Amino acid sequence: MQATSDSAGSERSERAVDAALARVLEADRAAQRALAAAHEEGERIAERARAQARRVAERARERIAGAQARVQAALQAELDALEAQARALPGHAEPDAAA
């Protein structure tokens, strides 16, 4: 009777170990799926961030180009005004006229 009891207990222990192992393996598979999903989401987030950074950089380049054009126009206007003032000075001769 003892042998039968030990055998039954051993079988129950083995089934419990098998069930626990199955749960561990399923948990591992679930963790792997979650990790893969998190990695994919991270890639999507990174791509959106890169696209946004490209848009921000392009807007910055456009703003810089616009500012440079405005500065250039302002400098040219200032130069034109100074040249006009210089021509208005008494005794001013045009450089081309002296040649």
Residue 95 falls within a domain, yes or no? no
Average pLDDT over residues 38-55: 98
Predicted confidence at residue 76, as pLDDT, reads 99
Residue 40 falls within a domain, yes or no? yes
Average pLDDT over residues 28-32: 98
Q: What DSSP line would sit under 6-27, residue for residue?
A: HHHHHHHHHHHHHHHHHHHHHH
* CA separation for the pair 73, 54 (Å, rounded): 28
How far from the centroid of its chain's Cα atoms is residue 62's Cα?
Answer: 19
Share of the chain above pLDDT 90, in %: 78
The 3-state DSSP class for residue 1 equals coil
Residue 26 falls within a domain, yes or no? yes
Note the pLDDT tens digit of each residue in 52-85. Answer: 999 999 999 999 999 999 999 999 999 999 999 9
| Among candidate residues 23, 5, 3, the one with its CA nearest the CA of residue 15 | 23
* CA separation for the pair 98, 92 (Å, rounded): 11
Range of the domain at 49: 2-89
Contact 73, 66 (CB under 8 A): no
| Among candidate residues 74, 79, 72, the one with its CA nearest the CA of residue 87 | 79
* CA separation for the pair 66, 76 (Å, rounded): 15
Residue 13 falls within a domain, yes or no? yes
Residue 98 falls within a domain, yes or no? no
Residue 94 falls within a domain, yes or no? no
Share of the chain above pLDDT 70, in %: 87
The structural domain count of the chain equals 1
